[in-house]
Amino acid sequence: MIKIPQFVKKLKQYKAGKPISELAREQKLTKIVKLASNENPLGPSPKAVDAIQKALGGLNRYTDPLSHDLVMAIANKYNVQQNHVICGHGTDSLLAYIVNAFTTESDEILTSEGTFIGIYVSIRKYGRKLITVPLKEYTFDLDAIYNAITDKTVMIYLANPNNPTGTMFERDEFEAFMAKVPEHIMVILDEAYTTYADDNPNYPNGIRYDYDNMVVTRTLSKAYGLGGLRVGFAVGPDEVIESLYKVKLPFEPNLLAQQGAIAALDDDEFLTKTKELNKNSLAMLKEGLEKIGIKQVPTSANFILALMPTEKFAKEFTESCMNQGLILRHVDTFGIANGVRINSGTIDETKFALEVMANVYNSLCDNQKEKVEQ
């Protein structure tokens, strides 16, 4: 009999937001809006779609294992050295490589409660020790993280803006933190939502720093509209990047992902439209949630964390919205049991979402009142 290690037995399979096709099949709905995965509601970058179509004829060949052209495009765009960049199948893949390559079983990896589920999964799947500190007002508490460092801490994960809260820590706080963290501890700074935050002058744009113990990760799955392809990249010191190349799967990201990503990175018009739509749609969402009476966390990303009275309420709210064609994300598995995350959609999608949420919220509140009165 094959022996399955305890830490693998304890893992739970990743549960993503429900796909639109599955919900349509189950509920026989004609209109479905998915605002559960922080995707770009405008679709993919049109330049990326063109490039992918042109690349299709080359599918019989393995692609460039070093993603040379994509690495060069990233190095040029962000003004970093080519040997400081590596690309992977989404940030998620790179996070797994980083955890695997730079930690061993007895090491502690420190982060916050209520952050990106992917890092928890990567830490647990390699049987590493996950140490978390609470969020402070739904934001990474960098002082608490610093104070939780022990002799066994080898890595710290920060997400800025954070998912699922949308909050960000500011430049001064980040710089003070980095100045104190011992240099043998690797800091991962996950900037999946940087596009939505970097107009803020207090946003500490990680790629502009040059710390010897920091790796910055970015993704094209969100603002660049390429979640279906999944391309992520990491920027860090050359020895770190060189080691990551040794553990990375060859030919990742695949041919279409590489070509699509190169074109998307060059699509400034698409990025400007994306930011503009996000600004307008988030403003609508914020105002609409306030009108309904749903509490929310101030955001610097492309989504809002709505706070429900209880975990049970959040679960029922998410399920009822789904039954009416609105897919949201209950973020209990991220560590926020009463949180429901909703990302900015097109203006039409946002209107629809607010209508559904108002109906569902009011009827759940009415049900609760009736129960109390009975």
Ligand X SMILES: Cc1ncc(COP(=O)(O)O)c(C=O)c1O
Q: How far is the CB of 160 from ligand X (least distance, A)?
A: 9
Q: Give the range of 7-15, 125-133, 219-227, 256-264 binding ligand X by CB under 6 A.
A: 219-227
Binding residues for ligand X, rule CB under 6 A, total 15
Determine, following the binding rule CB under 6 A, whether residue 192 of this chain makes contact with ligand X: yes
Q: Work out whether 252 is an interface residue with ligand X (CB under 6 A).
A: no
Residues 6+ apart with CB under 8 A from 179: none
CB closer to ligand X out of 44 and 232: 232
Shortest distance (Å) from residue 232 CB to ligand X: 4
CB of 38 to ligand X, least distance (A): 6
* Identity of the residue, 267 or 360, whose beta carbon is nearer to ligand X in the bound complex: 267
CB of 192 to ligand X, least distance (A): 4
For residue 362, give the H/E element and its range. helix 347-373
Answer yes or no whether residue 194 interacts with ligand X by CB under 6 A: no
Tell me whether residue 246 is exposed, middle or buried, using C-beta atoms within 10 angstroms of its C-beta: 0 to 12, 13 to 18, 19 or more: exposed
Residue of the chain from 41, 206, 232, 260 that contacts ligand X (CB under 6 A): 232
Decide: is 90 part of the binding site for ligand X (CB under 6 A).
yes
Does residue 38 bind ligand X (CB under 6 A)? yes
Q: Which is nearer to ligand X, 47 or 89 (CB)?
A: 89
Cα 104 to Cα 97, 100, 110, 185, 300: the distances in Å are 12, 8, 14, 13, 34
Q: Nearest distance from residue 188's CB to ligand X, in Å? A: 10
Between 159 and 360, name the residue whose CB sits nearer to ligand X: 159
- Tell which one of 40, 67, 91, 338 touches ligand X (CB under 6 A): 91
Q: Collect all residues with Cβ–Cβ distance below 8 Å to 335 and sequence separation of at least 6.
A: 113, 114, 115, 132
Alpha-carbon span 258 to 281, nearest angstrom: 30
Task: State yes or no: residue 190 binds ligand X (CB under 6 A).
Answer: yes
Q: Kindly state whether residue 230 participates in binding ligand X, applying the rule CB under 6 A.
A: yes
Does position 219 interact with ligand X (CB under 6 A)? The reply is yes
For the beta carbon of residue 363, count every other beta carbon within 10 angstroms: 11
For ligand X, the closer CB: 103 or 162: 162
> Cβ distance 308 to 293 under 8 Å?
no
Give the nearest distance from C-beta 190 to ligand X in angstroms. 5
Q: How far is the CB of 107 from ligand X (least distance, A)?
A: 21
Please give the residue whose beta carbon sits closest to ligand X in the complex: 90
* By CB under 6 A, residue 253 contacts ligand X: no
Nearer to ligand X, 63 or 361 (CB): 63
For the chain, the 3-state helix, strand and coil shares in percent, each to the nearest 5, are: 45, 15, 40
339 binds ligand X (CB under 6 A): no
133: Cα separation from own chain's centroid: 19
The nearest distance, CB 90 to ligand X, in angstroms, is: 3
Cis previous bond, 5, omega within 30? no
Question: Within a 10 A sphere around the Cβ of 365, how many other Cβ atoms?
Answer: 14
Please spell the DSSP secondary structure of 139-187, one letter per residue. Answer: B--HHHHHHT--TTEEEEEEESS-TTT-----HHHHHHHHHHS-TTSEE
351 Cβ neighbours under 8 A, 6+ residues apart:
284
Shortest CB 221 distance to ligand X, Å: 3
**How many CA atoms does the CB half-sphere of 21 hold within 13 Å?**
0
The C-alpha atoms of residue 282 and residue 304 are separated, in whole angstroms, by 8
SS3 299: coil
Q: Which residues bind ligand X (CB under 6 A)?
A: 38, 90-92, 116, 118, 159, 163, 190, 192, 219, 221, 227, 230, 232
